[in-house]
Amino acid sequence: MSKIAGGIFTSHVPGIGGAIAKGLQQDPYWKPFFDGFEPVHQWLAAEKPDVAVVFYNDHGLNFFLDKMPTFAIGAAAEYRHEDEGWGIAFQRPFEGHQDLSWHIIEEVVASEFDPVTCQSMLVDHAVAVPFELCWPGKEAFPLKLIPIAVNTVQHPLPSPKRCYNLGQAVGRAIESWGGDEKVVVFGTGGLSHQLEGGRAGHINVDYDKFCLRNLAPDPEALLQHDTLDIVELAGSQGVEILNWIAARGALRGSVRELASNYHIPISNTAAATVLLENSDKVHA
């Protein structure tokens, strides 16, 4: 049986990739954000997960408006990042786990979800930046990737409840996998930020703290708002919290927060990093 050891939730601002490329981790502007990864590094070194299942949104590298899936699951042997328009391309490839990808696809479709399946898929900064943050350096990433893209770009977006339920279905699928892989689940993006319109620069500390407070103990509290409520509260890109909600759904055991870091600003974003532990429930 596969085991989900925990979840890593982090902002994926492209500027973080730029800061990594320039080696600015100790720069006073960036340091408070990068320092939030120390406990994540410790935990990853101890747990050594074999697979990362990453809920994220594509920003126009793999998907365009010609075909915009609400949910898409990667089933490729390898994924790559490429130039997204500003000349940065992370070089390290991401090894896929096709057998587990197809098992997840089988199981979530059996749970009445209808994902697009992708045997060829580029992953953008929303996958690459979290991987660079978690495993800095040049060595090959020490685990395999299964990317799951959620549409947070073109409304109507999937509801928070739907995303949570998808996450739960993915969690059940991983738990039922016959291999002995240890899995870490990622939710990337957020927290509050808005890039466009007269309200550009919008940040909502109260809503962010509400999410951070409830993510581990009471994730269903985050389902009380619909997607447009979240756009109003967290900003039009703050709605990327949908990726966090989906990832949290996959953690079906006894969940507690091991570490969190909330820092404003990174670029136009209220940035956050959260590490959750997922342990087996104790049954009588």
Partner 1 sequence: MLPTSDATKGKRIIPGTPVFDGEQARSGYALNAMCYAFNSAELREAFVKDEEAVMERFNLTEQQRDAVRKRDILAMLEAGGNVYYLAKLAGILGLNVQDLGALQTGMELEDFKAALLAHGLTETRNFLSEKAA
Residues within the interface to partner 1 (CB under 8 A)? 15, 32, 35-36, 39, 42-43, 59-61, 64-66, 68, 82-87, 153-156, 194-203, 205, 228, 231-232, 235-237, 256-265, 267-268, 270, 275, 277
**In which residue are the tokens 């130039």 written?**
83
Active site residue 263: no
Handedness of CA 274, 36, 210, 163 (dihedral sign): negative
Q: Which of 12, 97, 125, 225 is catalytic?
A: 125
Q: How far is the CB of 97 from partner 1 (least distance, A)?
A: 27
Cβ-based neighbours of 181, under 8 Å, separated by 6 or more:
2, 3, 49, 50, 51, 97, 100
* Closest alpha carbon to 8 in 182, 184, 163, 165: 184
> Phi first, then psi: what are they for 175, rounded to 5°?
-65, -30
Active site residue 202: no
Q: How far is the CB of 115 from partner 1 (least distance, A)?
A: 21
* Closest alpha carbon to 181 in 3, 7, 48: 3
Pick 153 or 174: Cβ nearer partner 1: 153
Beta carbons of 264 and 20 less than 8 angstroms apart: no
Q: Which of 97, 103, 193, 202 is catalytic?
A: 193
Residue 64 amino acid letter: F
- Distance between CA atoms of residues 170 and 249, nearest Å: 8
Residue 103 amino acid letter: H
Q: How far is the CB of 107 from partner 1 (least distance, A)?
A: 30
Pick 53 or 61: Cβ nearer partner 1: 61
Quick one: DSSP state of residue 80? B
Beta carbons of 272 and 190 less than 8 angstroms apart: yes
Quick one: DSSP state of residue 36? G
Q: How far is the CB of 111 from partner 1 (least distance, A)?
A: 27
Pick 168 or 261: Cβ nearer partner 1: 261
Pick 183 or 234: Cβ nearer partner 1: 234
Q: How far is the CB of 169 from partner 1 (least distance, A)?
A: 27
Pick 68 or 109: Cβ nearer partner 1: 68
Q: Which two tokens stand for residue 175?
A: 């738990």
Catalytic positions, written as ranges: 125, 193
